[in-house]
Every structure is written in C-alpha cells, then in structure tokens.
Homo-oligomer: A and B are copies of this chain.
C-alpha cells in the first residue's frame, strides 16, 4: 500500500504514472472507507481524487498554496497531507480529522478554515497579492466546483483575480452538479465549453481576461498532470476547467449524484444504508404541506438557494412542484432579493435556509426586503444547539442577526402545530417580511389550541400563570422551560411560563404585567445570547427592580462541540437553570 507511506506530498514526487494511479485508487478507497463508516461528503470527494493526486504531484505544497472551496472536495488532499489516519483508522481517528479545510488541523497544508461556499478565489487573491508584494514566486491555486461558481463572492473573486493580472491558477472542478442540479445562466456556458472541448465562441473566462485550458478527462491522472504542468509557474490569471465525474469510482454515487453528495454511514458493498426507524421531520412535513397548498394557490413559491433538502424538496417533490419550486443555485443574496421582488409582484415566496447560511444575506434582508416591507417569508432551519457543529456551520447566530434588522418579524414556534399556524399566517398576510425559526428539537405535537392569526406587534403567550419567577422560553427551548417550571414546582415554586413567540421585539405589556408579583424573569433561547433575545428582555428591565437571568450560549468560536457539554458549560441544563434561579431568589 502506497498511501500509508505518504506522509507529505513530497512522497509522491518519485512515483511513476502507474504508481500514481494506484495512489489514486488507494485514496479513493480511503475516502470511501471514511464516509462509509463516519459519514460525510461522498460524491464531490470521489470525483476529485485524481485531480488531487495530480495537483500534489505537479505543485509543491506547502510552498505552493492550495485554497479549497466549501471543502467538499478536500478529503483526498487530507489523505495525501499526513492525515490518512482519519480515513484508514478507527472512528476516533476519523473524528480527529474534520470534514473541512482546516489550518487548526494542518497549519502547513490547509490555508483557510472553509465551509461556506464560493470563497476560494477571493481568499486566494489575497495570497496572490501577498506573493506579488513580497516578490516570491509560489503558485497560488484556487479550487472551485461548478456548483460554487453561482455564489456572488466567487464572481467578485474572479473579477479581482483577473484585475491583479499576475499568476493565479483557478481549477474549475466541473462535475455538472451543485449539491442538487445546477441552476443559472453560467451553466449554459460551462455546458457549451464542455461540448466544444473548451472551444466554443463565447468563453466567459476568456471574456473576463483569463487564460483558459480545458480538460475533458478530469479523472485521468496522466492527463491532469500534463495540464497542470502546462500552467505551473504561470504569470497570468489562468482557469483550468476540468470535467470530472461526481461520485467517480463508486457506482451508487454515480447513479444518484444528489443522493450521494453527502450522507450518513453506509454499506460499502452495495451502498445500502441501515434502515432507520421512520420518524417525522420538518423537512418532510413542510414539503408535503407546501405541495398541498401550492395546488390551491398557484402564487405560492418554494425558494431555495442550492439546498432543496433543507426544505424536504426531494427530486420527486421538486418535479411535483414544477415552476412553484425555484432553486437559485448557491446564491443566497439572489434568493432574498428575488423573494422580495416576487412578493412585490404578488407572489407568496417562502425561502428555506439553514441558520448558518442566513448570515450570507444580512444586507439583502435589510435592504432588498425589509426597507421595502415586502411580505416574503423566510424559513430558518436547524437554528440551535442540536444541529450542525463544525466551526463553519454553527447555527447559533441567526437570532442576534435577524433581530437587529428593523422591519423584520422573527417568530419562534414551539411545536409543530404552532409552526404551521405561523407559516400559514405569514404566507397569507401581505404587509411584512416574516422569518420563522423552525423548531430544531424534533417534531413535537400539542393538543392545545394554537392561534391562527398573529399580530405585527410582539405578543407573548402566558401558558401558565404563577408568581415570583417567570420563565420566558423561546422556540425549541420552550420544552426546556416546561422542564424548569416542573422542577421548580417540585420545589414549591409555582413559576409562570411564557412562550414569547416573537424574537424581534419585546412585548412590553406582558413584561410589565410581571412586575406585580414576580422577582425574577428567566429567558431561554436556543442560540447565542450575546445580542440575542434575552438580552433585550434584560435591557427592558435593567432600570427596574426586576432581576433577569439570561439563558443562552455565550458567543465564541465553537468547533465540533458535544451538545451536552455545550449546554453544561453555559449552565443550560435543566437542573443548572433551576440551581441558578434558586440562588438568585
């Protein structure tokens, strides 16, 4: 076996083509070993195995700098840069290696922590400029998938790379897919380039001033070496467009590219996955609900920016929705602005987005949407502590962000019935943009009656009237609030429980009503507390005698945290909250 002896890319240099092909096969097997046991990004990594071997053979990392985009194709690079244990070892070894480009893990070979899309060219232009100022000669190589090319930052980066005019190599890894299928005018050009073997009349990259090379055989180590050698040490901005196969070398991933973009562990022999017990998910419930409503209302439009799975829109459901489902490609800014335009034009758009990606659209939400008061709906998925935990994908910051944007209402339903009631109201009203934080603690049902109509003013709902202590428990921490109130009851304290429902503004009337017979207000929110919901309640009471205990996660750079530990560190376990309450009162 070669790869066990490859401690760094320099160990590739003496190998011949035959050996390099074996290295590629072993690297693919290592990637498959990891993803089958550990889960992770499957298809994009499999398609980039040969290119990675060729890149590391031709270029000299770490002097030459690689910058990966979104990191979905960086596993082979990890295998060849001293981290093969994360692919060949046991599950603990695998856990020690992240799924993303990470200088924290490999300061020598990984230049940036990367997990959001469309950043590689922009980041690489910084290295390009630094090299030019310092007068050194290293190669700067940005790697970007065709799917990532649809994000605005990628265009801005390409624009600047050409402007700088010096050597940079941009490897466009074109596997004809984003996470789902590609959407956008640029893909017409990529297709024309592929079909003409790079020779079509209007070449976008050449139009922008790049040198351009095309390789049809993007999974052929020998040809890849040849093309990379031909651009090595270039002093011009250069695009190398390689046509690869997503999932290459593992037939299930080739046959179903979207399904095998990312996945949980599976059986390597046939790609089967262990049967999981059937359970409801908001993805499934939401997409089913939308499909039913779409049939009644042709103006209802489901919007995604390259992540239809966040809303449960499988290929079959997208087909059923037809033109009432719209995918921008990975272009969140466009999603918000277009949703605003659609709402202005009389449609009822609902954009579903993972919490971690909503921060790509602060300006569009503030400017394109909120100052225009157009009634688009934003579904924020997976916000909270219990979802994604890589440093690049933390879902704790949507509350501080969205609640600092004037003109936006941010609702936090506490269960399934309340979520759909809020969603229906948000879609039918025509005055304001409304964001809704989908509960992230599983699908919990209630038999209580939920309101059908919501006001534009914040109105909290008092679900249990007690005294002395009031627990205001928002969204997916509402059940935690119930637990805390229950434990307090066992200790003889009949605490008030409140479902605030609105995160964007405090409900002064309800808060004032607490002053008569409460000493302490406790806020609980499933997210970052700095700048969040609870601090606004604290601020509301800060000049009064009311004490406030703000419960949330402290702002920090978290990476691959254990949820229980995170909650414990932030004194958010039920018993800790009760302890802190008892100490204050």
| Chain B contacts for A162, CB-based, 8 A | 184-186, 188
Per-residue contact bits, chain A 366-379, to B (CB 8 Å; 1 contact, 0 not):
11101110000000
Q: Does A134 contact B (CB under 8 A)?
A: yes
Establish whether residues A155 and B152, one from each chain, have CB atoms under 8 Å apart when the complex forms.
yes
Question: What is the distance, in angstroms, from A329's C-beta to the closest C-beta of chain B?
Answer: 7
Specify which of B188, B406, B531, B544 is in contact with A536 (CB 8 Å cutoff).
Answer: B531
- The smallest C-beta distance from A465 to any residue of chain B, in angstroms, reads 23
B contact residues around A130 at 8 Å (CB): 341-342, 344-347
The interface residues of chain B lying within 8 Å CB-to-CB of A131 are: 345
Q: Which of A340-368 contact B (CB under 8 A)?
A: 340-347, 349, 357, 359-360, 362-364, 366-368
Interface centre among A185, A366, A543 (most CB of B within 10 A): A185
A156 with B334: CB separation less than 8 A: yes
How does the 8 Å CB contact mask read for A261-295 relative to B, with 1 for contact and 0 for none? 00000000000000000000000000000000000
A298 proximal to B (CB < 8 A):
yes
**In the bound complex, do residue A542 and residue B536 qualify as a contact, i.e. CB atoms below 8 Å apart?**
no
A185 touches B202 (CB 8 A): no
Residues of B within 8 A of A366 (CB): 359, 397
Question: Is A228 at the interface (CB under 8 A from chain B)?
Answer: no
Mask, A395-410, CB within 8 Å of B = 1, is 0010011011111000
Q: What are the residues of chain B within 8 A of A184 when measuring CB–CB?
A: 159-160, 162-163
A357 to B364, CA, bound (A): 11
Which of B204, B299, B555, B557 lies in contact with A371, CB distance below 8 A? B557
Q: Would A539 and B543 count as touching, CB distance under 8 A? A: no
Distance in angstroms from A511 CB to nearest chain B CB is 13
Contacts of A45 in B (CB 8 A): none
- One digit per residue, 1 when the CB lies within 8 angstroms of any chain B CB and 0 when it does not, for chain A 130-145 equals 1111100000000000
Q: Does A183 contact B (CB under 8 A)?
A: yes
Q: Does A561 contact B (CB under 8 A)?
A: no
Measured CA separation A367–B184 after assembly (Å): 25
Copies of this chain assembled into the complex:
2
Beta-carbon contact of A331 and B208 below 8 Å: no
Shortest Cβ gap from A98 to chain B (Å):
12
- Is A253 on the interface with B (CB-CB < 8 A)? no
| Interchain CB contact under 8 A, A150 and B156 | yes
Q: CA separation between A201 and B205, bound complex, in Å? A: 12
Q: How far is the CA of A458 from the CA of B265 in the complex (A)?
A: 44
A151 to B159, CA, bound (A): 10
Instruction: Give the residue name and chain of the B residue nearest to A130 (CB).
Output: B345
Enumerate chain B residues within 8 angstroms of A343, measured Cβ to Cβ.
Answer: 126
- Chain B residues within 8 Å of A380, by CB: none
Q: Which B residues are in CB contact (< 8 Å) with A360?
A: 362-363
- B-chain residues with CB within 8 Å of residue A404 when the two chains form the complex: 397, 400-401, 404, 528, 530-531, 555
Contact of A122 among B134, B341, B349, B542 (CB under 8 A): B341
Q: For the complex, is A174 an interface residue (Cβ under 8 Å from B)? A: no
Interface string of A182-216 (1 = CB under 8 A from B): 01111011001000000001111011111000000
Beta-carbon contact of A153 and B334 below 8 Å? yes
| Nearest CB of chain B from residue A237's CB, rounded to whole Å | 7
Q: Chain B nearest CB: distance from A128 CB in Å?
A: 8
Comparing A54-62, A73-81, A109-117, the segment that makes contact with chain B is A109-117
Contact status B391-A371, CB under 8 Å? yes
Contacting residue for A301 out of B133, B151, B337, B372, CB 8 A: B133
Q: Is the CB of B342 within 8 A of A129?
A: yes
Hey, which chain B residues are within 8 Å of A248, CB to CB?
none
| A541–B541 CA distance with the chains assembled, in angstroms | 11
Residue numbers in B under 8 Å from A557 (CB-CB): 370-371, 406-407
- A538 partner residues in chain B, CB cutoff 8 A: 535, 538-539, 542
Of chain B, the residue at the smallest CB distance from A183 is B163
A-B residue pairs in contact (CB < 8 Å), sample of 20:
A111-B344, A112-B341, A123-B341, A124-B341, A131-B345, A133-B299, A152-B153, A152-B155, A153-B337, A155-B156, A160-B331, A160-B338, A201-B202, A203-B207, A359-B363, A362-B401, A406-B528, A407-B557, A535-B539, A542-B548
